[in-house]
Structure 1
Amino acid sequence: MKLRPRSVLSALGVAFTAYLGIGWPWWEGNFSDHWLATAAAVALYLAASWLAIFWGQRSGEVKRRGLVDDAGMTTGGGGPTLLPAWVAALALGTAAVVPSVVWASVDEAARTQPYATWTIGAIGALMAIVVVRRRPIVAAIGIVLLTIQGAFWIGLLPSLSLGLVGSAVWTAMAQLLMWSTDRASLESTQLTRLQRAASEWLASQAGRQRERRVQVQRALAVAGPVLTRTIATGGDLDAHERELARLAEGRMRDELRGRRLLDDDVRGVLEAARQRGANVTVLDEGGLDGLGERGLRVVRAELADVLRNAQSERIYIRTAPHETVAVTVVGRSREDGEDTVDLWREIALPLPDAEKRSAGAGR
């Protein structure tokens, strides 16, 4: 069985408040004339204390107030949450009523006895619980009310010597502990986020390194034979070899600049366009980053159809972030000494599958 810190602290709180509420030596006092009021005061104290310990708050409201951080022990689901207002009001009412009821139920000469002054420590414990449940202002008001009642019934100095100082110190220490644990929780959360960001950055760098290695290998596979031949001949290539070098350069540029646009069909039509003498430029500037493999297949198939029928002397294929357009294909040729656009095609950005299904259902 795994014990959670909250469960252990709650059990300790219940045991301590139960000891303060019903463990005091009531038989030593003279409560016979006011036993009902005294019993009601004890019951009110126990009810307020245990409600303050156990009565929770809906997680949605806690998050809406900005008091939850799932990574922190003191601010997350396993730590103390904001005490509901009505429970805080009940605890404050208990602090204002119970001490006076108990002191009024005994003789004036016996009001400094343990069976009459137990309320000082009891209210202090209750206010410490209220602080832990994130109601420090309510707890401070409760300590002030306890001080006023103590000064009225037994005097300020006797109250201080009989536990009022300890109750105030409990409440203040509880607030200091909450501040320190919340700060530690926040710093732990920030550290976790920084570690996660560092891990993601390292993973992205490793991915980019692998991508660069793959691109270099492809470039070497495409241009390696031509480079070897060029080195072997000292750059003295014949017309056929120069044509092969031009085609190899084009293929290498395509692999480096627009790899996501390429499949076997697109590579084939690009090669055919270059073989007939066209100057082809492929440039991917991020317009396809949000597409999955199915959407890329649709774009590549349409691009291959467009290029298969293109007769332009210069062809520019470019992607860029756009709401509706995935790829723009522009072809230019010279006619009668004029440079004219004889090809313009925009390939639409495919809809995600979920949007396609919803659009189909709407029709």
Structure 2
Amino acid sequence: MRVSVPRWLIVLLAAVFSGYHLVLAAVSLDRFDDPWPVVACMVVYVVVTVMVLWPSGRARMPVWLAAFALAVSVVMPLLVTSQLDPSQKNGYATWYVAAIGTLMVIVATRRRQGFAWLGVGFMAVHGVTWGGLGAVADLGVVGSVSWVAFAHAMTATLTRAGRETREFILAEHEAADWQAAQEAHVNERQYRLLQTSRTARPMLQEIVAQGGDLTPEQRQECLHLEGAIRDEIRGRRLLDDDVRREVMAARRRGAVVSLLDEGGIDDLDARELRRIHQALAEALHGSSADRIIIRTASGGGDDAVTVVGLGSADLSSSALGRGVAAEADEDDDGDEVQLWLQIPRSVPERAAP
């Protein structure tokens, strides 16, 4: 079970912490000889906080926004401390230290750790320069640096965990796809073996019973069965029981039938396949062509299957039409198209009257 924290709750907590620093700044305005620089810092801090917390599509903060937050973290200590005496206890008047720490934690959380470290680093150096080394602990610089370090570590850990999770999910999907492909391969092989056994077993039993001494008709039937087995491999989804029966009938009357399924109908549902099989069976049943080619249309398009039936040209009738048979072109010696059928991928439903 996956447990997640709503993003709005995290933003709300960050906003509450940032607002708390502004409250401390407001109650300590009487400690400053000139409060207007502090008020300006408060306004700028509100603006930059709203900008860094504003929801966006990217988790990683833009560089310009991180640079702006860094600039604010540099300006605020300079302006606020210009109105304070480092030799006195300033209390909440040093609110800027925690405020900058909170701002840099947000920057680090949004994957700009370098800018965050520069911000707290400048604040620490400025604190030592302004109040001495002993003032670092009193100002709360150590706490701000610690929070940025914690945010950096947590962000790096969560980023690594997210990356590993994505890798695990991808590996799981690949394993599931591999398993599905293997199962489909096994099922397909078992189905083809069953279909081949059903087609060839009667003839094999006949061959065994006769000791291999077959009549010419039986030998011809073996050739037809060989073609049927080849159809199971090359024809795939072009076949159903009706199509198999009509293909075998066409071969037995002397036609050469070729089926080739190139995957053009793999995405069709059972209803559309039944329609295509029915159209194929009807076309084969009514055809007298000597050579029939059935092929799926690859690469998409409106047509799913193309059926071409070729037959020998009637040279005598062609010669009568020209008057002299000797003047017939070489094309008359070729095959003529006796069957041409394109079965569409789908048929629009008719509107009810």
TM-score (norm. length: structure 2): 0.72
Matched, 1:341 2:344: no
| Aligned counterparts of 1:346 and 1:21: Cα–Cα separation in 2 | 83
Deviation at 1:125, TM superposition (A): 2.7
Residue among 225, 229, 248 paired with 1:252 = 229
Correspondence 1:271 to 2:248: yes
Q: Does 1:211 align with 2:188?
A: yes
2: CA distance between counterparts of 1:348 and 1:156?
A: 91
1:314–1:333 contact (8 Å) kept in structure 2 = no
The aligned runs of 1:21-60 (5 Å cut-off) are: 22=23, 31=31, 33-34=33-34, 38=38, 41=41, 45=45, 48-49=48-49, 52-53=52-53, 55-57=54-56, 59=57
Q: Provide the C-alpha distance between the structure 2 equivalents of 1:138 and 1:342, rounded to a whole number of angstroms.
A: 79
Identity of aligned residues (%): 34
Give the match's secondary structure for 2:258: strand
Task: Identify the residue that residue 155 of structure 2 maps to in structure 1.
Answer: 178
Q: Unaligned 5+ residue runs, structure 1?
A: 63-80
1:107 has 2:85 as partner: yes
Contact 1:317/1:329 (<8 A) preserved: yes
Q: Supply the distance in 1 between the matched residues of 2:69 and 2:218 (Cα, whole angstroms).
A: 92
Deviation at 1:331, TM superposition (A): 2.9
Matched, 1:327 2:306: yes
Answer yes or no: is the 8 Å Cα contact 1:312–1:342 preserved in 2: no
Q: Which aligned pairs between 1:1-363 and structure 2 lie closer than 5 A?
A: 4=5, 6=7, 13=14, 17=18, 22=23, 31=31, 33-34=33-34, 38=38, 41=41, 45=45, 48-49=48-49, 52-53=52-53, 55-57=54-56, 59=57, 62=58, 81-83=59-61, 91-92=69-70, 94-110=72-88, 113-136=90-113, 138-143=115-120, 145-147=122-124, 149-150=126-127, 154=130, 157-158=133-134, 162-164=139-141, 167-168=144-145, 170-319=147-296, 321-324=298-301, 326-331=305-310, 333=312, 340-343=334-337, 347-348=341-342, 350-351=344-345
Alignment deviations for residues 37-78 of structure 1 (CA, whole Å, 9 cap, x no partner) = 65775676577557644x211x3xx3xxxxxxxxxxxxxxxx
Q: Given the superposition, is the C-alpha separation of residues 195 and 347 from structure 1 closer, same or farther in structure 2, using an over 3 Å criterion?
A: farther
Question: How many Å apart are 1:127 and its aligned residue?
Answer: 0.5
Residue aligned with 1:342, SS = strand
Classify 1:145/1:311 alpha carbon distance in 2 versus 1 (closer, same or farther; 3 Å): same
Deviation string, structure 1 residues 261-305 (Cα, Å, up to 9, x no partner): 123443333122122122323222223234334443444344334
Give the whole-Å Cα distance in 1 for the aligned partners of 2:62 and 2:83. 31
Q: Deviations over 1:203-253 (max 9, x none)?
A: 121122112212211221222122112112211233454454444333333
Mapped to 2, the partners of 1:157 and 1:143 lie a distance apart of: 15
Pair member with larger Rg: 2
Q: Which residue of 1 aligns with 2:320?
A: none
Counterpart-to-counterpart distance in 2, 1:322 and 1:6:
45
What's the C-alpha RMSD, in Å, of the aligned pairs? 4.2
TM-fit CA distance, 1:144: 5.5
- Structure 2 stretches of 5 or more lacking a match? 316-331
Deviation at 1:132, TM superposition (A): 0.7
The total of aligned residue pairs comes to 330
Indicate conservation of the 8 Å contact 1:261/1:284, yes or no.
Answer: yes
Q: What is the TM-score normalised by the length of structure 1?
A: 0.70
Q: Deviations over 1:21-47 (max 9, x none)?
A: 5569x77x9716456765775676577
- Shift, 1:192, TM fit: 0.5
Greater displacement, 142-151 / 255-264: 142-151
Q: In structure 2, the residue corresponding to 1:311 is in which secondary structure?
A: coil
Q: Which moved more, 1:40-49 or 1:192-201?
A: 40-49
Q: Does the residue aligned with 1:174 lie in a helix, a strand or coil?
A: helix
